[in-house]
Amino acid sequence: MHPVDRSPRLLRRASALVALLLALIGSSAFAQTSPAIDLLRRASSSRDRARAAESLGRLRPEGARLALEAALDDRSSTVRVASAQALEALGDPAAMPALERHARDRDSRTRAAVTRARAALLRRPRVATASDWITTPFAAAAAPQLSSPVSSPTPVLSAPIDWQRVRVLFTLGALVNHSSDPTHAAALREALRATVAEDPRYAMHPGSLPSSAVSRLRHGDLQTYSLEGTLSALRPGDANGSMQSVRAEVSLVLLAEPSHSIAATITGSATAQEARLAIANQPDPMPRLRLRAIEGAARGAMRSLQAQLLPRR
């Protein structure tokens, strides 16, 4: 066949390929979305969708507000209630139009949740944009090293893992830092890693697994989870004449793999305090107190999760 005769067919194929690429780019194939957002959109169980909505209110990943606004139209009233409550937790006034459109929901519990969310958003200033910090086992080694001797957390030493004793394997997913200091994100990460390393039954994914661990994964002998979390609050504690303190709150969401279903959600909090010293030229203790509070909150939440997974006898 002459090349000129093939040109219409080639043009049709090229047009079809361009259309396919445009469709993929417009879909989630190239989107880096939170597993909780995907679960809220696609889970068949209303219970899973409601738990996903709840976790979005705690974690506040990018795209959470739009996903929760769409979920206000969910066929399940339980999901609609959870979505309204999560929008209240997000504290973003941009959600007000969507809430107003659902103020007359047919379900009384949903109407009440929407009313509470609207009232809360009217009282609350806009939440500052989160400083997102994301790590994976493969990206952790490339993370910038922090050098400040006062405010940097101590990195966890890589102790050998006894893979015959490990029963649960964690992979760090999205960890969101709702503060302006990147050392706080590093403190959260290191506290989670350190807590996992304290119990030989748990391990954090090292990036590549030995053949023995790969074999156990294939046979279902290892429980595997992704771990998402956020530093949701970091503020001075109650004023006291002789003490100064900082309180931190951390939220964690555990996702069972490979289904990405939410296995557990938990919040940990801790307060670090020390006596005020009336000594001139002393360094500000607040950076140290902030890191101690973050570490305490992260350790408390992580230990609670571990106790749910493998209770000690």
pLDDT tens-place string over residues 181-229? 888 888 999 999 999 999 999 999 988 888 988 888 888 888 999 888 8
Instruction: Tell me what pLDDT residue 143 has.
Output: 30
DSSP state at residue 280: T
Higher pLDDT, 7 or 303: 303
3-state secondary structure at position 166: coil
Q: At what angle do helices 77-90 and 64-71 cross, to 10 degrees?
A: 150
Instruction: Tell me what pLDDT residue 138 has.
Output: 25
Instruction: Tell me what pLDDT residue 13 has.
Output: 56
Domains of the chain (ranges; CATH) run 35-123 (1.25.10.10), 131-309 (3.30.160.150)
- Token pair in block for residue 108: 């009384």
Q: Give me the sign of the Cα torsion angle 110, 114, 116, 120.
A: positive
Judged against a pLDDT cut of 50, whether residue 130 lies above it is answered with no
pTM of the complete model? 0.57
3-state secondary structure at position 282: coil
3-state secondary structure at position 191: helix
Nearest one of 297, 278, 306 to 237, comparing CA atoms = 297
Instruction: Tell me what pLDDT residue 58 has.
Output: 82
DSSP bridge pairs for 243: 275
- Token pair in block for residue 209: 């697994």
Judged against a pLDDT cut of 50, whether residue 27 lies above it is answered with no
∠147-148-153 over CA atoms, to 5°? 85
Residues 171-182: tens digit of each pLDDT: 988 788 878 788
| Cα separations in angstroms, 169 against 174, 175, 261, 265 | 16, 17, 16, 17
